[in-house]
Chains A and B, each alone.
Chain A
Amino acid sequence: AQTVTQSQPEMSVQEAETVTLSCTYDTSESDYYLFWYKQPPSRQMILVIRQEAYKQQNATENRFSVNFQKAAKSFSLKISDSQLGDAAMYFCAYRSFQGAQKLVFGQGTRLTINP
């Protein structure tokens, strides 16, 4: 079974600075998807960014980018120019390429933005 580990329960960053959230995963599959979800205090799960394992290029969405290291099974999220609205829980998630598309989540990292 696949597992996802987020080793940073909490992180903080100054507004306008850059922060990196870590995620490692364990799988024997060669094709899969990785996701970062944001959960603000409203509880709504919001997709931040997605990476397909067969793509070597790291995904980017505006201020959000990932560093995907397939051999190391590492998938970190970099947030540039942090804004107050980025404060939230961030979850890393894994999904198999085939099958029922079930998501396996990490434990989450609480990100605080200091003004």
Chain B
Amino acid sequence: NAGVTQTPKFRILKIGQSMTLQCTQDMNHNYMYWYRQDPGMGLKLIYYSVGAGITDKGEVPNGYNVSRSTTEDFPLRLELAAPSQTSVYFCASSHEGPYEQYFGPGTRLTVT
């Protein structure tokens, strides 16, 4: 059982480049989330989804886009990368109800 997988694990981008962070879960969870963790800080919510075709903004959505075409996948798109987007990105998923969120291993992104 793979749980939540994220690719890539590491990436270096130049300012202005774009990329997509991939997230897949195999637990049939309806709820999926993207968080970012800046150095020495807690996680902040970027976007979330409560089911295929439904997405909404979190606390820090600027500079990002998401889509949710299937239950399993929830990619995060960075357009026109900026140094402020240097961070570690975590994807998470959960069932609806009093259940924990399961986290992926994270993607460390550096924008220079």
Is A33 on the interface with B (CB-CB < 8 A)?
Answer: yes
Q: With a CB–CB cut-off of 8 A, which chain B residues contact A101?
A: 31, 94, 96, 101
- The answer for the CA separation of A103 and B94 in the assembled complex, in Å, is 11
State the total of A-B contacts with C-beta under 8 angstroms: 53
Q: With a CB–CB cut-off of 8 A, which chain A residues contact B92?
A: 45, 103
A44 contacts B98, C-beta separation under 8 Å: no
Q: Count chain B residues whose beta carbon lies closer than 8 angstroms to a beta carbon of A.
A: 25
B42 contacts A107, C-beta separation under 8 Å: yes
Is B111 on the interface with A (CB-CB < 8 A)?
Answer: no
Given contacts A100-B56, A106-B42, 14 further A-B contacts (CB under 8 A): A35-B100, A43-B106, A43-B108, A44-B103, A45-B103, A91-B43, A100-B48, A100-B50, A101-B94, A101-B101, A102-B33, A105-B35, A105-B43, A108-B42
Point out residues on B near A: beta carbons under 8 Å. Answer: 31, 33, 35, 40-45, 48, 50, 56, 58, 88, 90, 92, 94, 96, 98, 100-101, 103, 105-106, 108
